[in-house]
Amino acid sequence: MPSSLWLIAPHDDHAFNKSLKDLIGTTLPSNFPHAPKNTFIPHVTVTSEIDPANTYEKSSSPQEWLDGLTLPEFQKEKNEVVIELEQLEAGEPFFKKVTLRAKKDANLVKFASKCREQGLLLSENEAQKWAENEYLPHLSLFYGDIPKDEVQKKIGLIELQLGFEFGSLFDCCGGTLAMGAKLVLVDTSKEIKDWTPIAQRDCPWVIWTMSKGLL
């Protein structure tokens, strides 16, 4: 069954992570009280569809496999992966019912391509084409079986809720919400409530930012 690689914020007690957890766990579900509540770790998917039998189950552990991935040589404060959250969207798919779409930063595309190549055992060219043409980086805030038009009616309210959660953090840090991230391996074949990392790797060269237009 498939697994996924995610980028998550580096510290549970960071203000950015706390705000995301509040939005996912409490604020947005309260906007749709008739829908089943789905709580999950705030994340940006790097790649999905990883077959454990062809990848980490061949290693001594999931952690060994994750540590063995060859990643581009990014550097903090020199050559960083920027996750810039730039647009709030309502979507049709269950897992994209409310998302913060992220800009396709060149380094993020390069990073996703290398993870896809090794996670799905693709050629470099195949992975690069996927990253450039199909990869749509985003941070989901709500999962649910709700019509898109019903969600769209609440987008104005959700924008206000985002401003409440992120406004002071945005103002004090010039748009930078957090520094650093963890690349985590998650068995996404399980139920949503059981989506927890089975391996993790520090990525100090990731920056989380937000476009001013969101607030």
Positions annotated as catalytic residues are: 43, 138
Which of 141, 86, 91, 88 has its CA nearest to residue 108? Answer: 86
Please report the sign of the dihedral spanned by the C-alpha atoms of residue 92, residue 93, residue 94, residue 96.
Answer: negative
The H or E element that residue 145 is part of is none
DSSP structure class, residue 14: S
Q: DSSP string of 23-59?
A: IIIIIHHHHSTTSPP------EEEEEEE-GGGTGGGS
d(C-alpha 42, C-alpha 21), whole Å: 7
